[in-house]
Amino acid sequence: MGKCTHQPKASGNIAGRTLNMAGFVEYQTGAVVSREVLRKDTGIVTMFAFDEGEGLSEHTAPFDALVCILDGAAEIIIAGKSHAVAAGEMIIMPAHKPHALKAVTKFKMMLVMIRS
């Protein structure tokens, strides 16, 4: 897998502004790019852009996570089961279940972590 790049958190107050979700984070060749949109005690919203073939290896998270695909297509594996997810679709990754992501094509997603 390639490098993982974190872009700066959204500058200024973006609350109450209309934003282009897919344009909030840009693709980089051979990389996974992330940009935090919002962080609160109750959860985090982060945008990601994955170059084709890039991904995140299997891991677990202590919180449920909602993944919304904004552009492209991904394979998301949850507890050993593969799911094809494409632009306009979403999937929930349950807390404490191992999951991994791989870009079938370049893809962008919004990740919403809900703390409970």
Closest by CA to 102, choosing from 62, 58, 55, 52, is: 55
Given this model, what pLDDT does residue 90 score?
98
Bridge partners of 32, per DSSP, are 4, 50
Q: 3-11+20-114, which class in CATH?
A: mainly beta
The 10 Å Cβ neighbour count of residue 13 is 7
Given this model, what pLDDT does residue 23 score?
86
**N- to C-terminal Cα separation, the chain:** 31
Per-residue pLDDT of the chain (116 residues; tens, 9 = 90+): 566 655 555 555 777 777 788 888 999 999 999 999 999 999 999 999 999 999 999 999 999 999 999 999 999 999 999 999 999 999 999 999 999 999 999 999 999 998 87
Q: Tell me the C-alpha distance between 82 and 89, whole Å.
A: 15
Q: Tell me the C-alpha distance between 22 and 25, whole Å.
A: 7
